[in-house]
Structure 1
Amino acid sequence: MHGLGLDGARLIIDAALDAARAAGIRVSCCVVDAAGDEIAGIRMDGAPWFTCGVARSKARTAARMGVDSAVVAGIKADHPELVTLIDGQLPFDVTTLPGGVVIRDGQAVAGAVGVSGAHPDQDVAVARAGVDAWLGR
């Protein structure tokens, strides 16, 4: 496998948007690299304005923590001070909202995708559709 890059981000976003359309939902989608830096992001027509920032936060959290953003809720519940200390070291707010899905290149974190705008389970499903497309390329 190769690094994520712009072509990979576009593949992920296209597959995620296809999944969102098929589910009849409107979302924002953001793809970041392993450092949490944005590669590409998009907001579907009709998705709320704030969903871009939420999707970015979900993706950044997943990439930098190395786990899906929803997993961070368990870490926070078990070790609240740890998440507070981590949060203070990052240039963005860590989130526990579902919809940030880590992307792995073998065992290494290649980046993450974040989706926001629908029910949390739908956000996760749309994000996973994007990751699955990248893994199956």
Structure 2
Amino acid sequence: MDYQAVIPEFVVSDIEKSRHFYCDLLGFSVEYERLEEKFLFLSLEDCQLMLEEGSAEELAQLTYPFGRGVNISFGIADVPGLYQKLLEADYPIHRPLIKREFRVENTIIYPQEFAVLDPDGYFLRFTE
């Protein structure tokens, strides 16, 4: 496995609840885990993410939403398919699926994207 240059790590309140959200709903795979540390290393296509259940002391210092001010963007191939899967699971959508327009140097691109909050309130944007 190749590691990306930047890999976010989230402190979560319940590792099993997060595992369900990321793996069962979003389709991430567990690359490896350390059960004794309540730690997961996940991947989805070229995206990687680490999750670790916080201690009681760590969690006492956090308030929902945990990721205030941070927007994590995941570039994946089938954005509409993942969006539909979440709708079918009746998972709350924070920002609906839209086609955006961005200028990248001299080129205009039109990716589709949507956003959800994970169980701890981390803001996740999925984009083409």
Higher share of residues assigned helix: 1
Tell me whether the two structures share a fold, i.e. TM-score over 0.5.
no
- Indicate the structure (1 or 2) with the bigger Cα radius of gyration: 2
Q: Normalised by the size of structure 2, how large is the TM-score?
A: 0.27
More strand by share: 2
Q: Indicate the structure whose relative CO is greater, using CA pairs within 8 Å and at least 6 residues apart.
A: 1
TM-score (norm 1): 0.26
